[in-house]
Structure 1
Amino acid sequence: MKVVVTTPTGHVGSRVVRLLLQAGLRPTLLARDPARVDPGTRQRVDLVTGDQGDPAAVLRATAGADALYWVDPPSPDGDPVAGSARMGAVAARAVRENGVPRVVFQSSVGAEKRVGVGRIDGLARTEELLEQTGADVLHLRCGYFFTNLLYDLDALRAGTLTTTMPTDRALPWVDPRDVGEVAVANLLSAGWSGRRVLAVHGPADLSFSQVASVVGEVTGRAVAARQIGDDDLRAVLRAAGMSEPQVEGFVLMSSGIRDDFTAEDPRSLLTTTPTTLRSWAVEHLRPLL
């Protein structure tokens, strides 16, 4: 069985690769920088150099594939929604031209709205493009990754976790490694077909205040959640040199699901995964703080 994995060194992709190897497969990895694939893995996989925006590389990697794990990574495009849709079009072309029968796509909670959720709008477009190929397609609608906290280390050291969401609003938070496990289970399963949506919600919905409390308890630091306005976030992002489409892409990811949003696939036995924020933070966050 030939399974193709994109973003193979990412938080989710690296877990997908490890599990496929443990299942006895030799996966094909599409990697922008093959040097980032560790030597122990490199000798057990087939490597294709390129990224998801390169049609020739994607076509080459997916030739003869039985299944594809696809991620729209952050793109260099000035408009991140257009960049994500551009990569989604490359995926759809490869699936169609190479006759790839099965795709697991790493999407996001919020993609069900189709518009108005910033960068997630690009994932929604990719969902639609993949569905039009005729392949069996599973969209993993993932919650908020624990690993997003790694981008806020300086603020956490200073005792603050900022968000544009109300600090008491509970959201699904998930360990990316659990997303990888759900992805592999479905890549290898013959138990589904057609178009399917499966949310990956983590073990529990958490508010930013609860997350701050867990981080504080694990690290021994006093951490408090603080809500900022959308315009405050815009100012920070503009100061970092982002274009206006990039700024709005980030802001709307939160504001687009802040009010009057219900996930298409709600929390259930099937959408709940085991790893808690506390256990993840002990392993990954505490050593850095």
Structure 2
Amino acid sequence: MILVTGATGTVGRLVTERLSGTGPVRLFTRDPRRVTSTGPDVEVAGGDFDDPGGLRAALVGVRSALLVTTNPLAPAQDRNFVTAARAARVGHVVKLSAQAVADTGADDLITRWQRDNEELLRASGLAWTFLRPRAFMSNTLGWARSVREEGVVRAPDGASRNASVDPRDIADVAVRVLADPAAHAGRAYPLTGPAALSAVQQTDMLGELLGRPLEFVELTREETLSGLLARYPEPLAHALMESAARGRQGAKTGVDPTVPDLLGRPARGYRAWARDHLAAFRA
């Protein structure tokens, strides 16, 4: 049995789709009504990381688990999961982490939280694998409305480059690792796309695919922080601002060969991702 947490999120949903039909899968989610992947081998376990009893029940009989947590202000959630996984004798935990943990210059709240999560698993006695992606290409879906309605992308740091990764590649790697724990236990995998692109370059690619020019409007630091504070608690907003500052310094441009090495094919580029999601940007 494979357990997928965050089963309705960006990566969890893609992993679930790829595991469908390969054997028994259990999906752990706060809202089972949002689960779209169903089948005779798919179970749905409702619950959350703040419920140790629900976690223990969801982990019974699980040999390999994908752990996706998203709230740096709730560090007990990872501890609850690891405690329950040890009690259930789970064989292998695949943790979705972040590439920033390997950057000695990164010390923001979110990065420290992910480092702590990795150390928690290392000390747990469980077999583990860490997946460390760069930014998701799908983050640019946040531009969709302004592109549709105005032909405009508004974003900070238009010249900063990031070796962002297609979430489908993350999911493909996760499925491979979940299926063969012995080959991947004790490994930390940096996951990037094939090139480091700026927001301006991504905007240009979108415009070419849409067949109409798009305008890029660079947000000021004040505008960026204001937008983040409207969406996130203040500590997270400031952590994201610190992360953006590292991006301006070139800390996110490194391209790593792990995705093609593991999958035996090139990593998907942003143009391919955008082409496959173009409907979201069309007027």
> Which TM bucket (shorter chain)?
0.7 to 0.9
SS for the counterpart of 2:65 is strand
Aligned-residue offset at 1:179: 0.6
SS for the counterpart of 1:94 is helix
Distance 1:236 1:37, change over 3 A: closer
Q: In structure 1, how many angstroms separate the alpha carbons of the residues matched to 2:99 and 2:213? A: 30
Deviations 1:129-180 (A, max 9, x none): 1111112211111122121111222333434334433x33321122111111
Q: Is the 8 A contact 2:141 2:280 kept in 1?
A: no
Match of 2:241 in 1: 251
Match of 1:202 in 2: 193
1:12 equivalent to 2:8? Answer no
1:214 equivalent to 2:205? Answer yes
Distance 1:258 1:98, change over 3 A: farther
SS for the counterpart of 1:82 is coil
SS for the counterpart of 2:45 is strand
Tell me which amino acid in the other structure corresponds to 2:9.
Answer: G
Q: Is the 8 A contact 2:92 2:185 kept in 1?
A: no
Q: In structure 2, how many angstroms separate the alpha carbons of the residues matched to 1:31 and 1:132? A: 26
Structure 2 unmatched ranges of 5 or more? 261-265
1:269 equivalent to 2:268? Answer no
Q: Is the 8 A contact 2:160 2:250 kept in 1?
A: no
Match of 2:276 in 1: 283
Structure 1 unmatched ranges of 5 or more? 76-80
Q: In structure 2, how many angstroms separate the alpha carbons of the residues matched to 1:207 and 1:57? A: 42
Distance 1:254 1:121, change over 3 A: farther
Match of 1:139 in 2: 130
Q: In structure 2, how many angstroms separate the alpha carbons of the residues matched to 1:274 and 1:241? A: 31
Q: How does 1:100-249 map to 2 (within 5 A)?
A: 100-113=90-103, 116-157=107-148, 158-165=150-157, 167-192=158-183, 194-238=185-229, 240=230, 242-249=232-239
Residue identity over aligned pairs, in percent, reads 26
Match of 2:263 in 1: none
Distance 1:258 1:287, change over 3 A: closer
Q: In structure 1, how many angstroms separate the alpha carbons of the residues matched to 2:193 and 2:55? A: 31
SS for the counterpart of 2:38 is helix
Q: Is the 8 A contact 2:161 2:252 kept in 1?
A: no
Q: Is the 8 A contact 1:117 1:255 kept in 2?
A: no
Match of 1:35 in 2: 33
Match of 1:87 in 2: 77
1:66 equivalent to 2:63? Answer yes
Tell me which amino acid in the other structure corresponds to 1:62.
Answer: L
Aligned-residue offset at 1:28: 0.9
Deviations 1:206-250 (A, max 9, x none): 121211111111122322444434333112233x26432132133
- Greater mean alpha carbon deviation, residues 224-233 or residues 96-105: 224-233
Tell me which amino acid in the other structure corresponds to 2:90.
Answer: V
Q: In structure 1, how many angstroms separate the alpha carbons of the residues matched to 2:212 and 2:206? A: 8
Aligned-residue offset at 1:30: 0.4
Match of 2:89 in 1: 99
- Greater mean alpha carbon deviation, residues 89-98 or residues 266-275: 266-275
Q: What is the TM-score normalised by the length of structure 1?
A: 0.84
Match of 1:78 in 2: none
Q: In structure 1, how many angstroms separate the alpha carbons of the residues matched to 2:172 and 2:267? A: 11
Distance 1:128 1:149, change over 3 A: same
Tell me which amino acid in the other structure corresponds to 2:164.
Answer: W
Q: What is the TM-score normalised by the length of structure 2?
A: 0.86
Q: How does 1:43-58 map to 2 (within 5 A)?
A: 43-58=40-55
Aligned-residue offset at 1:43: 4.0
SS for the counterpart of 1:48 is strand
Q: Is the 8 A contact 2:162 2:247 kept in 1?
A: no
Aligned-residue offset at 1:194: 4.7
